[in-house]
A and B are shown apart, each in its own frame.
Chain A
């Protein structure tokens, strides 16, 4: 079974703090994704990465950055947290080489509250 883990289930931070969200997958997947999910808006893609040290902006990258130094790990960074970044953050991974390419597997999510 694919396993995607995220460093925290719940996180509370203050406005202006730098926040790190970590995601690790154990299936040697090439592709990794960060989404945020808000009521009524669905899943919105923040950033994704298709290889180590490679990153691409998604639909809402403003206020975020990412890091992928190792294949299994993809980090999302909020440089200066703001209250409008309070959300559920979901990490996902997928393979580029298997027959089930495109199928994404999600971590359990991190519910971030910025006060």
Chain B
């Protein structure tokens, strides 16, 4: 089993739709979780950290489910500009500040 797994997609949704992605992780000792956004041929940029209590930033909501070992990202009222690849990242509790990244989920929002 991969340490961090994501559905590669693509998720093709119309503008205004609500879409959700999940990311599963294998290390139950992981403590830090993140969602990054990556546009085509650009670097990943931090979208949001994921806290135990969940967190919301505008149209974006991130949740953590420790029992089932997954994090989720919900995007409401999708915009064309949300089209990108979304990477999840989980810290590796073997020391140092190392993150393990998923391969990403591609989202395509169409008019």
> A interface vs B, CB < 8 Å?
31, 33, 35, 40-43, 45, 48, 50, 56, 88, 90, 94, 96, 100-109, 111
Binds A, one of B13-21, B62-70, B94-102: B94-102
Q: How far, in angstroms, from A107 to B34 measured CA to CA in the complex?
A: 17
Say yes or no: B102 contacts A42, CB within 8 Å. Answer: yes
Q: How many residues of B contact A (CB 8 A)?
A: 21
Say yes or no: B101 contacts A43, CB within 8 Å. Answer: yes
With a CB–CB cut-off of 8 A, which chain A residues contact B99?
A: 102, 104
Known: A42-B102, A100-B49, A104-B89. A109 touches B43 (CB 8 A): yes
Q: How far, in angstroms, from A100 to B103 measured CA to CA in the complex?
A: 23
Known: A103-B34, A103-B49. A41 touches B96 (CB 8 A): no
12 CB-based A-B contacts, threshold 8 Å: A35-B101, A43-B44, A43-B87, A48-B96, A50-B96, A50-B97, A96-B97, A103-B46, A104-B89, A104-B99, A106-B44, A111-B41
Does B24 count as interface, using CB distance less than 8 angstroms?
no
Q: How far, in angstroms, from A57 to B28 measured CA to CA in the complex?
A: 23
Chain B residues numbered 79-93 whose CB sits less than 8 Å from any CB in chain A = 87, 89, 91
